[in-house]
Amino acid sequence: MWNPLTPAEVIAAIGPAARDAARAGDLDPWMRGQLLSVYSGTRHLAAELGDVAPRVPEVARELAEAVRAGGLDDLAGALAAQTDPRVLAELTCQALDRLRVDDPRRARPLIQRALARAVALEIELLADAIEGPA
């Protein structure tokens, strides 16, 4: 489909229609709640696609550096090139599991800090998209 809108913009455009329908109609409370849930869901999904997803490679590179510091070059290389958050999580778990047994370079805390920064970044991006920048 030829559309000048990004997928995030399309999803974001759906939400206000659901919100307006919830506010305008003579609906029972359950249906009103369902429409407002759709509105809320579209805001979160649009933020995930439009703001969070483009930052995955940045998080992947930071995690790869931490994993490489632990001497796990094979996993570090796979992480550095990753853009799928699910695979990124799986590879990071593998690294943490391998380092649980032997971590002479103390890389686990580096990986945990990188994960904490990734979580904080996602929360900040979602909050900014929903509430506006702080």
Question: Are 107 and 65 in contact, with CB atoms under 8 Å apart?
Answer: no
Q: pTM here?
A: 0.80
State pLDDT tens for residues 24-80. Answer: 978 999 999 999 999 999 999 999 999 999 999 999 999 999 999 999 999 999 999
- The C-alpha angle with vertex 115 and arms to 63 and 101, in degrees rounded to 5, equals 75
Q: For residue 7, how far is the Cα from the chain centroid?
A: 15
Are 92 and 115 in contact by the 8 Å Cβ rule? The answer is yes
- Kindly give, in sequence order, each residue whose CB lies less than 8 Å from that of residue 53, ignoring residues fewer than 6 positions away: 85
| First-to-last C-alpha distance (Å) of the chain | 36
* DSSP secondary structure letter of residue 71: T
